[in-house]
Amino acid sequence: MTRYARLDFENSQGAASTTAGLGATPFYLPSTEIVLNPKPAPLDRSDELRGIDGLLQLAQNEYSPDGSIEVRGYADILGALFKILFGSVVSTAGDGIITDPSGTVIPTGATRHVFSKLASSTPLSAMLTQCYGSQFIQARGVTLKDMAFTVQEDGVKAKSSLMANYMNRLAADPGYTPAYEAFSILPWRRRNARIQTGIGTALVDNFEFTFAQDLEYVRDMGDAASSGFPSRTERANSVQGFLALTGKFTRRDLDAADWDALIAATALDILITMTSEQLIGATTYPYSLFVQTGSAQMTDGDLEGQKNQPRHQQELTWQAGYNEVDTYDFKVTLVNGQANYN
């Protein structure tokens, strides 16, 4: 049996007592690792006075499934994860007229996907089916707390924290036939990744960025179900419940403009791009990702300790804030060969 991990969008959040309708297109994940565990918290009554010098047997109680997933920068797959994380996407087929954020025309055969935050306390979710070879695990109401991008020697990688409302072991093979992109389609690599701040000019050694939101399990006490699994996952009831973008980059030398921007809390226009050398299908347009900030600001600057050496690096941390003129804090645009994310 072929090992695989399959992701299906849910039309509403699945749970122990709810099997949600699924989207039209499944995504088979070329992940380097997926971890998802039920995380039981059994009832332990060993602290009771019962004349026993030892532990009592545990009883079933509650579960809080969580885990993580890591994938390389494959444009089509990242779009599926972005949809769950953000909640809203507008997909527009290229026609030789529409453009990407850089002003480049997107031709027929490529699709522009613009992701935006869903104005709801309930995030989108998916069903995740994992085949371990001869054993099968399935989780419903799978949500993403975050997506952290790093640029490594073996490619751009995105790692997300997962939560689920319910998971169980399937008694039989669900009968899926995995289908993946061709091996010839490469992920974004270090050579494809760029960050521009519009201010400092010293060489950039590396960068990373993270989209994150606080999520919490809801155990509805008005629900007749009593499985011990969560009824729903919602965004935290605080400002941390909103999806935010933060990042950091390392200058190979201390840059005066960065130093001044850090001290003065200067607004920056940070642009992160991933542009492949590979073209989308028969088009002349490459697989591309654009992450734009409305008004970013430096929040910290870790300067390398002074030593007897030619240069001293500085790691600068930033966050994206709302720009009242552009009316957004950050925007993500993905251009690939995927017609839609339904």
* Segments of the chain scoring below 50 in pLDDT: none
- Residues 6 or more apart whose CB falls under 8 angstroms from that of 175 comprise none
Per the CB < 8 A criterion, the answer to whether 78 and 84 are in contact is no
Neighbours of 201 (CB within 10 A): 12
pLDDT at 274: 98
User: Does residue 45 lie within any of the structural domains?
Assistant: no
Distance between CA atoms of 212 and 244, rounded to whole angstroms? 5
**Per-residue tokens: 220:** 């509805």
Distance between CA atoms of 75 and 311, rounded to whole angstroms? 36
DSSP string, 132-200: -SS-EEEEEEEEESEEEEEEETTEEEEEEEEE-SEEEEESS----------TTSPPB-GGGEEEE-SS-
Distance between CA atoms of 115 and 83, rounded to whole angstroms? 7
pLDDT at 222: 85
Per the CB < 8 A criterion, the answer to whether 337 and 285 are in contact is no
User: Does residue 110 lie within any of the structural domains?
Assistant: yes
User: Does residue 299 lie within any of the structural domains?
Assistant: yes
pLDDT at 224: 62
User: Does residue 47 lie within any of the structural domains?
Assistant: no
pLDDT at 263: 97
pLDDT at 18: 86
Distance between CA atoms of 216 and 235, rounded to whole angstroms? 6
pLDDT at 316: 98
Neighbours of 152 (CB within 10 A): 12
* pTM (2 d.p.): 0.95
Distance between CA atoms of 317 and 153, rounded to whole angstroms? 22
pLDDT at 1: 64
Distance between CA atoms of 255 and 33, rounded to whole angstroms? 38
**DSSP letter (8 states) at residue 10:** B
pLDDT at 54: 96
Residue 223's domain comprises 4-39+60-336
User: Does residue 265 lie within any of the structural domains?
Assistant: yes
Torsions phi, psi for 81 (to 5 deg):
-70, -40
Per the CB < 8 A criterion, the answer to whether 286 and 273 are in contact is no
User: Does residue 46 lie within any of the structural domains?
Assistant: no
Give per-residue pLDDT as tens, 84-133: 999 999 999 999 999 999 999 999 999 999 999 999 999 999 999 999 99
User: Does residue 99 lie within any of the structural domains?
Assistant: yes
User: Does residue 177 lie within any of the structural domains?
Assistant: yes
Structural domains of the chain, count: 1
pLDDT at 226: 73
**Per-residue tokens: 199:** 């201010």
Closest listed residue to residue 131, CA positions, set 175, 165, 162, 163: 175
**DSSP letter (8 states) at residue 114:** E
Question: In residues, how long is the chain?
Answer: 342
